[in-house]
Amino acid sequence: MAPYKNLEEYNIEVTNEVKDRFSRIIDEIGEDVNRDGLLKTPERAAKAMLFLTQGYKQNAEEILKGAMFKEDYDDMVIIKDIEVYSLCEHHMLPFFGKAHIAYIPNGYIVGLSKIPRIVDVFARRLQVQERLTHDILECINDTLKPQGVAVVIEASHMCMMMRGVQKQNSVTTTSGFRGQFEKIETRNEFLKLISSDLS
Ligand SMILES: [Zn+2]
């Protein structure tokens, strides 16, 4: 099985189980599951949920290992503004925003498209932003064994915006640093670069 693919084929048994439960939820909230507009909703919702949680079936380390190249480059590599869409594990509502990731190679670089891919692998699970940040950081650190790695995620949480405290404009920032990025100068250079429009 390919380590990364869009979930186009759904396991029929699982999809049907999830579909039946969505049907039950729609009924419990007082709607009519047999109403025209809702007829296919349980199935659509089931497929959407399975798509948004397909990361459980994917292996981020394999994705990185499949695209590592020996290279003597040892300056900072930054991939910024990576779109992040995840589901908070407390309410199963979306949180979304941007990830900025940097590493300093130690003999190996990785195909640039693989970094956003592993963000998706970890984001397409039930998450908290803190653990998502940590999962990405540790995966890059363990696999590439770089001189340093940094991950910053800025995200808005629908569970805060639509319910609860209803803080519409609050953004949560999480960050993690390993190796060279634990040094203040390197970390500051990274933070400066991700906040500039020119990098
Ligand atoms: Zn939440």
pLDDT in tens, 76-87: 999 999 999 999
pTM: 0.91
Q: Are residues 36 and 63 in the same domain?
A: no
For the cut 90, the answer to whether the pLDDT of residue 33 exceeds it is yes
Q: What local confidence, expressed as pLDDT, does residue 199 receive?
A: 43
The 3 state secondary structure assigned to the chain is: CCCCCCCCCCCHHHHHHHHHHHHHHHHHCCCCCCCHHHCCHHHHHHHHHHHHCHHHHCCHHHHHHCCEEECCCCCCEEEEEEEEEEEECCCCCEEEEEEEEEEECCCEEECCCHHHHHHHHHHCCEECHHHHHHHHHHHHHHHHCCCEEEEEEEEEEHHHHCCCCCCCCCCEEEEEEEEHHHCHHHHHHHHHHHHCCCC
Task: Compute the distance from residue 55 Cα to the ligand 1 centre, in Å.
Answer: 19
- Looking at the annotation, which residues are catalytic? 88-91, 129, 157, 159
Q: Does 106 lie in the same domain as 43?
A: no
Percent of the chain with pLDDT over 90: 86
| Dist. CA 62 → ligand 1 center (Å) | 30
Q: What is the pLDDT of residue 6?
A: 53
Ligand 1 centroid to 88 CA: how many Å? 5
Same domain, 78 and 48: no
Q: How far is the CA of 146 from the centre of ligand 1 (A)?
A: 33
pLDDT digits (tens, 9 = 90+) for 141-155: 999 999 999 999 999
For residues 143 and 95, state if they share a domain.
Answer: yes
